[in-house]
């Protein structure tokens, strides 16, 4: 009994879904002779005049026909347009229209609702949803994070992990896994990678700005950072990697003025002139962590002509009182650290 009821219900739903009732019982009618002529035509054909579209175009509604029909009312149409005062008539059809300013991107990652810098609107976010709507989500782009390592098997990174964008400069091997200690000193690189390319809509953790990009990590901050260490990191696999992201630099206390040495400089120049078949590497550098105490120009990496310097604001719009990507880091910290404080 129940089953039969369900089948009937399904059939009804299917039929009404397939046969859309999109022909209305209204016509737009172009009539010469003014309102009196229009009224004559309307009454003679069982219509009411319900409005005007233009001075000489009237909106008619039929008195008896159903509001919605799968088929056009061809007979009624024919009779209407043969009237001598009717220059043109069109039965009105319901058109499918989508509001373009209403972005419906909604991802199922638990932290997505809190990711204001991706989805909050009101000039607070980075217009990422508009880019996603155009299909720009990082697919085909290779990013590497130069930092303290990368948890390549992190559940939110494993899908986008690219071993060819990864290396361990500190230990001279191919595996960029971070070194674990009791205070989690080496989680920075994994968090930065998550900000860029944490997988989207996978029900895990957060969402990267470019959640379909490939991401690798270079472990280079967990040891002595020298000119050679920086240069090897900046020159990794340059025909393969599009973007090198560095969220580190000289001290931001406002008293240090330091910059790349000779080898790192050469890595920049060769990168921008020769890599990616001449298109050049993109070197992205963090700035702004020094807040009011510092000036971004006191840093030979962020003010270099070979780097793009990126800073940010807080959720309240404050640009000079906070750590650069505190919000994203907080999100990744609270739910996403695989070996974080819950370890
Ligand atoms: C996210 O995944 C859900 C299924 O879990 C799907 O319905 C939805 O369309 C996806 N959203 C995007 C933007 O891909
Ligand atoms: C990494 O590079 C090797 C050698 O060029 C290539 O065979 C392999 O497909 C690449 N892997 C990825 C994930 O791009
Ligand atoms: Ca290693
Ligand atoms: Ca995710």
Residue 339 inside a domain? The answer is no
Q: Is a pLDDT exceeding 90 seen at residue 334?
A: no
Residue 31 inside a domain? The answer is yes
Q: Which atom of ligand 1 is nearest to the CA of 132?
A: 13
Say which ligand is closest to the CA of 160: 2
Residues 108 and 75 in one domain: no
Average pLDDT over residues 288-305: 79
Nearest C-alpha to atom 13 of ligand 2 is from which residue? 162
Q: Which residue has the higher pLDDT, 313 or 48?
A: 48
Burial of 74 (C-beta count, 10 Å sphere; 0-12/13-18/19+)? exposed
pLDDT in tens, 241-265: 999 999 888 877 777 778 999 999 9
Q: Which atom of ligand 2 is nearest to the CA of 240?
A: 14
User: What's the structural domain count of the chain?
Assistant: 2
Nearest C-alpha to atom 6 of ligand 2 is from which residue? 164
**So what's the pLDDT on residue 72?**
95
Q: What are the residues whose beta carbon lies below 5 Å from ligand 4 (ion)?
A: 109, 156, 198-199, 202, 204-205
| Nearest-5° Cα angle at 234, 233 to 239 | 110
Residues 245 and 310 in one domain: yes
Q: Is a pLDDT exceeding 90 seen at residue 105?
A: no
Question: Which of 68, 85, 70, 80 is CA-nearest to residue 32?
Answer: 85
* Ligand 1 shell residues, CB under 6 Å: 105, 107-108, 201
Residue 200 CA to ligand 4 center (angstroms) comes to: 4
Residue 109 inside a domain? The answer is yes
For the whole model, what pTM was predicted? 0.70
| Owning domain of residue 295 | 4-13+100-334
pLDDT in tens, 121-146: 777 788 888 888 888 999 999 999 99
Test site for ligand 1: of 104, 105, 107, most ligand atoms within 8 A of the Cβ: 107
Task: Tell me the CATH number at 173.
Answer: 3.40.50.200
For residue 40, give Cα distances in angstroms to 17, 29, 43, 242.
38, 13, 5, 72
Residues 278 and 221 in one domain: yes
Residues 62 and 8 in one domain: no
Residues 67 and 106 in one domain: no
Residue 343 inside a domain? The answer is no
**So what's the pLDDT on residue 292?**
67
**So what's the pLDDT on residue 18?**
42
The residue from 41, 74, 94 where one domain ends is 94
Task: Tell me the CATH number at 45.
Answer: 3.30.70.850
The residue from 49, 66, 94 where one domain ends is 94
**So what's the pLDDT on residue 21?**
81
**So what's the pLDDT on residue 30?**
97
Residues 170 and 190 in one domain: yes
Residues 223 and 285 in one domain: yes
Residues 72 and 117 in one domain: no
């Amino acid at each position: 009994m129940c089953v039969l009821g369900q089948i009937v219900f399904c059939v009804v739903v299917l039929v009404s879904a397939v046969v859309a009732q999109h022909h209305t019982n209204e016509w737009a009618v172009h009539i010469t002779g003014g309102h009196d002529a229009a009224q004559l035509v309307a009454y003679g054909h069982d219509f009411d005049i319900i409005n005007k579209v233009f001075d000489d175009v009237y909106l008619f509604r039929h008195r008896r026909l159903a509001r919605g029909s799968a088929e056009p009312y061809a007979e009624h149409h024919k009779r209407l347009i043969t009237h001598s005062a009717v220059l043109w008539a069109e039965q009105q059809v319901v058109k499918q229209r989508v509001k373009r300013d209403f972005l419906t991107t909604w991802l199922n990652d638990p932290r997505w609702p809190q990711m204001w810098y991706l989805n909050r609107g009101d000039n607070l976010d980075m217009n990422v949803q508009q880019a996603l709507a155009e299909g720009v989500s990082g697919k085909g782009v290779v990013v590497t994070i130069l930092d303290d390592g990368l948890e390549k098997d992190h559940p939110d990174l494993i899908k986008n992990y690219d071993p060819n964008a990864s290396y361990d400069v500190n230990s001279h091997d191919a595996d960029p896994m971070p070194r674990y200690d009791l205070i989690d000193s080496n989680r920075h690189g994994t968090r930065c990678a998550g900000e860029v390319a944490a997988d989207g809509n996978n029900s895990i953790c957060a969402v990267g700005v470019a959640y379909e990009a490939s991401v690798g990590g270079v472990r280079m901050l967990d040891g002595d950072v020298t000119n050679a260490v920086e240069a090897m990191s900046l020159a990794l696999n340059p025909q393969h990697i599009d973007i090198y992201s560095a969220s580190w630099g000289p001290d931001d206390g406002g008293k240090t003025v330091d910059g790349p040495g000779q080898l790192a400089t050469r890595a920049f120049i060769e990168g921008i002139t020769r890599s990616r078949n001449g298109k050049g590497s993109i070197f992205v550098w963090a700035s702004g962590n020094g807040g009011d105490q510092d000036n971004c120009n006191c840093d030979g990496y962020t003010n270099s002509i070979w780097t793009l310097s990126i800073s940010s604001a807080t959720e309240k719009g404050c640009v000079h009182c906070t750590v650069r990507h505190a919000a994203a880091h907080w999100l990744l910290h609270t739910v996403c650290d695989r070996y974080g404080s819950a370890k």
